[in-house]
Amino acid sequence: MIDVAERFETKTVHIGHAPLRGVQSKSTPIYQTSVFAFEGLEEVEQFYAGEGEYVYTRNGNPNQAELANAVARLEGAEAGVSAASGMGAIMAGLLAVLAPGDHVLASHEIYGGTYALLHNELSRFGIELECIQLGQMTKLADHVRPTTKLFFLETITNPLLTVVDMPYWIKEAKSLGLTVMVDNTFATPYLVQPISYGADLVVHSGTKYIGGHSDVTAGVLVGAQPTIKRATEIIANYGASLSPFEAWLTSRGLKTLAVRMERQCENASKVAAFLRDHPAIEQVYYPSPTDTFFFSRKKQGAMVSFVLADESKIYDFYRALHWIKLAPSLAGVETSVSHPVTTSHRAFSEQQRKETGITMGLVRLSVGIEAVEDIRLELDAALGK
């Protein structure tokens, strides 16, 4: 692979593309094929001896590899693998580390889909989840058992946008012999690279900022080569492979990650300030510079959450929006809103939502690249109604 300049903005544009068999295309072709042809049985044997790259797209494809390798390089990881969704990537990472009877510690604010996977699905295989409130403790040791194998946290939590002292907690978990897995979807490697602080695995829903255009579903897991090799086998065996076209779209979106995040973070900061002074808003959730001291840039992300002063008006608020759409996802170039209680955190019980602070009046706002004045006007009009 051709070396490129070290600056993040240049890497996002140029890393990844490696033409096959001497075809020097400027942009990456879509290898829309289910299988790859061989010139003879000797080549087949070479593949299974570890000397070939591709045989069947479920097991690997150049577009899948380009995306995974690009994210791995941006995160500073040894290797990466792509998956059909962020949940597919999380599943592969968990199963690459865990075995029946193992115990997982996780932040109590984890994404609802991650909670459902661990609590509803992997529990059937004898894997136990324990959610802990990192903001109310300083040590993990009291929660660690002989069977505890993995510690899972998010750089910016969904949906309350809490930022814990990730470097501290990674160091704490590693001192106890735990594997650390970090969901870096909301921050992206543009803001922070958890591998540099000692994380073993980093996962992304590529559907969000990596792809960036609300037109793809993808996931990426990066980390050390041995673990990623095992995760790659799991993705193939469970049928969670990413399609070539989706991989190609996500790789294309990745090239503009830096410029998108720059604009979206700037807009989010201004929108958060506007919402804090709005009479219809009771509370605004947005990371502060003191929370994000370990981020590589002086930015707090592109997500803002807020609570209506009168939660009985929540249906009216969503109906009053015009061009800002209600959608159960985030991170596209267009601004959108979602309702965590009825979408991302449906898997939480009412008691869990109450303990976490996910109330009926909570709105999660994904800030896009539009003119910030228009975003504020649209929100102000809907809140006024």
**How far is it, in rounded angstroms, from Cα 150 to Cα 165?**
18
Active site residue 208: yes
> In the structure encoding, which two tokens stand for residue 204, read together?
């992304």
Q: To which residue do tokens 């947005």 refer?
A: 286
- From the candidates 183, 200, 353, 364, give the one annotated as an active-site residue: 183
Q: What contacts 229, CB < 8 A, 6 or more positions away? A: 79
**How far is it, in rounded angstroms, from Cα 13 to Cα 2?**
13
pTM for the complete prediction? Answer: 0.92
**How far is it, in rounded angstroms, from Cα 18 to Cα 284?**
45
Q: Contact, 78 vs 225, CB < 8 A? A: yes
**How far is it, in rounded angstroms, from Cα 206 to Cα 219?**
5
Active site residue 209: no
- From the candidates 31, 111, 115, 286, give the one annotated as an active-site residue: 111
Provide the edge-to-edge strand list for the sheet that holds 219-223: 79-83, 219-223, 201-205, 179-183, 148-154, 103-107, 128-132
Q: Quick one: pLDDT at residue 21?
A: 59
Give the pLDDT confidence of 51-85 residue by residue, as tens digits. Answer: 878 989 999 999 999 999 999 999 999 999 999 99
- Domains annotated for the chain, with CATH where assigned, are 8-254 (3.40.640.10), 258-384 (3.90.1150.10)
Residues of the chain with pLDDT under 50: 1-2
Q: Quick one: pLDDT at residue 26?
A: 79
User: Exposed, middle or buried: residue 289 (CB in 10 Å: 0-12, 13-18, 19+)?
Assistant: exposed
- From the candidates 73, 149, 208, 364, give the one annotated as an active-site residue: 208
Q: Quick one: pLDDT at residue 17?
A: 59
Active site residue 298: no
Q: Quick one: pLDDT at residue 1?
A: 45
> In the structure encoding, which two tokens stand for residue 41, read together?
């049985």
- From the candidates 58, 270, 313, 325, give the one annotated as an active-site residue: 58
> In the structure encoding, which two tokens stand for residue 101, read together?
């009877």
Q: How far is CA 126 from CA 129, 324, 373, in A?
A: 10, 43, 52
User: Exposed, middle or buried: residue 350 (CB in 10 Å: 0-12, 13-18, 19+)?
Assistant: exposed
With CA atoms as reference, report the closest residue to 251 among 2, 31, 7, 23: 31
Active site residue 58: yes
Q: Quick one: pLDDT at residue 174?
A: 98
**How far is it, in rounded angstroms, from Cα 183 to Cα 106?**
11
